[in-house]
Structure 1
Amino acid sequence: MKTSIASAMKRFRPGLAPTLVVLVLLPLMVGLGCWQVSRGHEKQRLVDSYAERRVAEPISGAQLNELTDPAFRRVHLRGLFDAEHSVLLDNRMRDGKAGVELLQPFHDQASGLWLLLNRGWLPWPDRRRPPVFSTPEQAVNLDAWVYVAPGETFQLHADPASTQWPRLLTALHPAALWAELGRSGFTYELRAEAGPGTYETTWPIVAMGPEKHLAYAVQWFAMALALLALYLYLGWHNKKEKPHGSGHESTQHV
């Protein structure tokens, strides 16, 4: 058995360059596949957590700061919008249509807490004209849920020289807004459910579902397997070609 293995290894000659390529790419592909599997499981836990909390009874605004893990908690609010400091999040697509999400400070009367409330998506078909929206002037009752983005939140800040409202941004962390306005507010965005003063509120839980991560993992593992198969093929094929070439050259020499 040992003799046959040793004999087979002697016949395997893949070459230096293919070996170096495999040593670099194979661990990378396998690593990326494992990472996608891990991300898929993380997204699935996130979706499961959302599903459980989404059917729970809403809590009051006063209870928000008491929670160690407020992600996806439903909250019942009553208060007023601050229409003067509106933020429009750009590059938000729905069903292939360009639009924005409207975020406004909201003062919850029961708790006295300032919240950054996302009122939903509205279309913006003509970039030459500003998006059109209105804001209720009277106090409203509505339900919302706490949105916590997976991973670190990417923040883009407005130009300090620009103080014009509403502001068009790509992303905004609530803490940046509260610091600018000199207010003490809740540190996470809240996304409104359908109700008074809301626009399109069919929110995706995650930008990429767990099934896509698993599909990407399969692709990476398949490419790793194909690379390994090609490496083995070249190793055996090169060895078979060399004796044939050597014999041909010696015949010509004679």
Structure 2
Amino acid sequence: MNNTLHQKAPGYLLWLLFTLLVFSSLIKLGVWQSQRAEEKEQRLTRISQYQLEDARPLTQVLALEQQGLDINDMPVLLEGQFAPNALFFLDNQIDNGRLGYRVFQVFLSGQAALLVNLGWVPGSLDRQLLPRIQPISGSYSLKGNVRKLEAGVMLMEQQLPPRLLAANEWPLRVQQIEPEKFSPLIARQLLPFVVYLDKNEAIGYKKNWQAVVMPPQKHRAYAFQWFSLACAFLGLMVWASLHHHRQSKNNK
């Protein structure tokens, strides 16, 4: 009998470890989705509060960031001018099923340089052709919202020349907005966030962005699915274990 127990022990332990591993993974996914829902709700609440406030000058926004405050989505007032030529086309941006680009241009405000999202433009079927867009020139007073950048998933690292680009090398197609890597291209240090133009601003292109792409309700629905899968999986494994145990007893 002891030999039988020893023979069953490794298989039982593997069964138990597999069950615990899968169950805990499903629970973690559910918890993660629940946390994302809470984060989205907090962000939407913050955005609603910001809509009641006046835009702050960029210098004030930077001072608040230095104090450790979260400036994401904060309304900001930009005073300055666009840098000539420094135009970036963010690739693979979709609007109503159509492939295009998000257009970013460098804006100079005092000693600060930052990227401004001017909006979406359609792309060509010929991937070699970039949209025929002239850089915006002149001085402006613009309202927008700060957007902190989230790291995207890239299969390959962007290869960019570590030097100042000549006028005839613009515009530049990019796969991800990376101010730190873009800074050598304009010989100025870019701020680590971008500004999305206020939709009421006259300049720019199609301003089709949303603060939150996936609403909190959808995250909660996904969380419910993961928790349900975890419970169903655990129930199935318990049933399979009991069924196997009964069969083993009947075979004796």
| TM-score, normalised with respect to structure 1 | 0.78
RMSD: 2.6
Counterpart CA distance in 1 for 2:162 and 2:57 is 38
Residue 232 (structure 2) aligns with: 226
2:103 aligns to what SS in structure 1? Answer: strand
Residue 31 (structure 1) aligns with: 28
Residue type at the aligned position of 2:193? Y
Question: Is the Cα contact below 8 Å between 2:89 and 2:104 reproduced in 1?
Answer: yes
Q: Report 1:89-108 matches (<5 A).
A: 89-108=90-109
Q: Percent identity?
A: 25
Greater shift in the superposed pair: 23-32 or 201-210: 201-210
Question: Is the Cα contact below 8 Å between 1:142 and 1:192 reproduced in 2?
Answer: yes
Shift of 1:35: 1.9
Shift of 1:86: 0.8
Counterpart CA distance in 2 for 1:19 and 1:187 is 47
Residue type at the aligned position of 1:28? S
Q: Which has the larger radius of gyration?
A: 1
Residue 138 (structure 1) aligns with: 138
Counterpart CA distance in 2 for 1:99 and 1:237 is 56
State how many pairs are aligned.
Answer: 229
Unaligned runs of 5+ in 2: 1-10
Shift of 1:185: 4.2
Q: Report 1:175-194 matches (<5 A).
A: 175-194=180-199
Question: Is the Cα contact below 8 Å between 2:124 and 2:130 reproduced in 1?
Answer: no
Report whether the alignment pairs 1:43 with 2:40: yes
1:80 aligns to what SS in structure 2? Answer: strand
Counterpart CA distance in 2 for 1:204 and 1:241 is 57
1:174 to 173, 179, 182: 179
Unaligned runs of 5+ in 1: 1-14, 247-254
Greater shift in the superposed pair: 79-88 or 126-135: 126-135
Q: Report 1:56-205 matches (<5 A).
A: 56-68=53-65, 69-108=70-109, 111-126=110-125, 127-150=127-150, 152=151, 157-160=158-161, 163=165, 164-194=169-199, 195-205=201-211
Residue 12 (structure 1) aligns with: none
1:84 aligns to what SS in structure 2? Answer: strand
